[in-house]
Amino acid sequence: MASTNDIKNGSVLNLDGQLWNIIEFQHVKPGKGGAFVRTKMRNVRSGKVVDKTFNAGLKVDFATVDRGDYQYLYQDGADFVFMDTTHYDQITVPGVIVGDAKNFMLENQMVTIAIHEGEALYIELPASVVLEVTYTEPGLQGDRSTGGTKPATVETGYEIQVPLFLETGTKVKVDTRSGDYLGRVNE
């Protein structure tokens, strides 16, 4: 058993049989009273985010989580198949675990998967990915200076908002956390 003093971002705690991923933490030493640790944590299964405060030095149970790099191979019905690039083992991850990450994953892309006791907990993508716009309305001459946007479908089938001047076939950088357009990529 470790204590709350060992909490770090990315740690996974086992509280009452539930796994919680630490998003943020702060050690607080008030002038009066005992020190405590303020955390923001996400339930690994449901995705619910809660704030919880622990007394400093309190014993907590850390879950053993292995993070590994995997290559996305293909979608199999509602599930997704990944390959460990060091051992060439394939694992199947349910679509509910993959969640919105499917909107930004292309075949052969590398992702990080957190695994606890043989079960995939969540997938971590790079902060941004480059995707090709497969369909958008044609841009009009003169639409370059206005701040307007239009919908565009990228190669994964996900729809994002892009500037009016972008056309089909353009490669764009997309934020994987919010789905926002970050810029055009010139290759």
Q: In this model, does residue 1 exceed pLDDT 80?
A: no
Give the integer Cα–Cα distance in Å for 71 and 88: 10
Shared domain for 93 and 72, answered yes or no, is yes
Shared domain for 140 and 178, answered yes or no, is yes
Classified as helix, coil or strand, 96 is helix
Q: Tens digit of pLDDT for each residue in 104-138? A: 999 999 999 988 888 888 888 988 999 999 998 88
CATH code, 14: 2.30.30.30
At 97, phi and psi to the nearest 5?
Answer: -75, -40
Give the integer Cα–Cα distance in Å for 171 and 132: 4
Domain final residue, candidates 60, 82, 106: 60
Give the integer Cα–Cα distance in Å for 11 and 83: 24
Shared domain for 132 and 120, answered yes or no, is no
Residue (of 141, 151, 138) closest to 181 by Cα position: 151
Q: What is the pLDDT of residue 80?
A: 94
Q: Tens digit of pLDDT for each residue in 23-77? A: 899 999 988 888 999 999 988 877 788 999 999 889 999 998 888 999 999 999 9
CATH code, 88: 2.40.50.140
Q: In this model, does residue 145 exceed pLDDT 60?
A: no
Q: What is the mean pLDDT of the chain?
A: 88
User: Tokens in use for 5?
Assistant: 């003093």
Shared domain for 50 and 71, answered yes or no, is no
Residue (of 7, 47, 19) closest to 117 by Cα position: 19
Shared domain for 162 and 179, answered yes or no, is yes
Structure confidence at residue 187 as a pLDDT band (50, 70, 90): low
Q: Say what the pTM is.
A: 0.75
Give the integer Cα–Cα distance in Å for 113 and 93: 9
Shared domain for 7 and 55, answered yes or no, is yes
Shared domain for 79 and 105, answered yes or no, is yes
Number of structural domains (the chain) is 3
Task: Give me the residues paired with residue 60 across strands.
Answer: 2
Give the integer Cα–Cα distance in Å for 161 and 178: 12
Shared domain for 44 and 76, answered yes or no, is no
| Domain coverage including residue 158 | 128-184
User: Tokens in use for 59?
Assistant: 């014993």
Shared domain for 95 and 140, answered yes or no, is no
Shared domain for 139 and 120, answered yes or no, is no
Structure confidence at residue 141 as a pLDDT band (50, 70, 90): low
At 145, phi and psi to the nearest 5?
Answer: -100, -15
Task: Give me the residues paired with residue 80 across strands.
Answer: 75, 93
